[in-house]
Amino acid sequence: MSLGYFHDVYAQSGTEFWVNNPSLSEIEMSLAGGAVGVASNPNYIAALLKTEPEFVHATIADVVAQADADADAAELAMAVIRKAVSRPLAIFDKLYDQTVGRCGHVAIQGSPLKNHDLAAMLDEAETFHELGENVIIKMPATIEGAQALEELTARGWPTIGTMCFSVSQYIYMAEAHRRGLQRTDENPKCLITMLPGMFGEYLAEDAARRGIEISDEMIDHAALSTARAAYQIYRDRNYDAIVLSGGARSMRHWTELVGPGMAITLSGALSGALIAEHPEVVDRIEASEEPSVIEELRQAFPDFVSACDEGALEPEAFRPYGPVVRFQNSLLGGIGTIIAEIEKRRVTMNT
């Protein structure tokens, strides 16, 4: 008897479902529905402001009340994130114990204000590690992020490489994880994101800026091809760091990427829609686009070539790569939202 769609997918293909930036009801629905983990980033609080404003305001009030009057608002913002992430950590802890650490992880990401600073990222990681045994720490797919991911792996801590949009970044982070494994007797879980939904949005914006007419279908082909290209490298080189497809914008960003050894994050809304529809479980991760489609995309978008071709981006080019800059700006906006709410609370307390 079927336990539900995501349970069926996991049983038949091994594809992991992670719920992204979820509200409390979405946490509970996803856990019951077959989620193996929770993803979050600095936009989590901004998302919760729309779904659970009372929870956010109470969390901020608690953090501000316990802090010194002159405490840095950006540091308090990270305290708010830690407190919010502690909620799914507690809920998924039982799954972590039941599966002996194979499932039940909850992700947390550091401040985008500090993700250029190795020492600061490692300091933040210390505070994240204290949150719970099932925490998994995200590091950006940059030179400094790879150094941090290697160090955390060597400590035996689970990690996620994030802000990754290219095969070159995937390889760089997977090699960092491999080096970390060589420094420990443990085998901590590692996932590295590819972000087809966000990449598709970036290409659509790029096409509009340059006056290129291209269909939404072609954009979607480009987005899915980047995740498939990284997956092929993962299989060919027998990396331990599995591909985590994130930033899904449609159900196709799940159904077209299902396959052994894959993990995919979904919003509560998209996961709920898939549970209700229960589409056929078909492994499509190794499907390939028509050569004519790929050639058209390569001709239209230099950034598509940079995403799919190994060595097309040198490590120094990771941080200024267009989709990475776009995502970084989004995360800065997420932190900015929390800081603004903290300042509002401080004003209220002082009047």
Q: Tokens 């994050």: give the residue.
A: 265
Q: What is the mean pLDDT of residues 9-36?
A: 97
pLDDT for 78-112, tens place per residue?
A: 999 999 999 999 999 999 999 999 999 999 999 99
pLDDT > 90 fraction of the chain, expressed in percent and rounded: 97
Measured CA to CA, the distance from residue 42 to residue 44 in angstroms comes to 5
State the DSSP string of 123-145. HHHHHHHTT-TTEEEEEESSHHH
Q: Could you give the domains of the chain?
A: 5-349 (3.20.20.70)
Q: What is the mean pLDDT of residues 11-40?
A: 97
Mean pLDDT, the chain, rounded, equals: 97
pLDDT for 62-73, tens place per residue?
A: 999 999 989 999
**Contact indicator for 21, 270 with CB cutoff of 8 Å:** no
pLDDT at 289 over 90: no
Q: What is the mean pLDDT of residues 244-273?
A: 96
pLDDT at 260 over 60: yes
> Where would I find the H helices in the chain?
5-13, 24-33, 44-51, 53-66, 73-98, 118-129, 143-154, 167-181, 196-210, 216-237, 252-255, 268-277, 291-300, 302-308, 322-349
Measured CA to CA, the distance from residue 248 to residue 200 in angstroms comes to 10
pLDDT band at 2 (very low <50, low <70, confident <90, very high): low
Phi-psi domain of 247 (left: phi exceeds 0; alpha: psi -120 through 50; beta: other): left
Measured CA to CA, the distance from residue 26 to residue 301 in angstroms comes to 37
Measured CA to CA, the distance from residue 157 to residue 101 in angstroms comes to 11
pTM reported for the whole predicted model: 0.97
pLDDT at 350 over 80: no
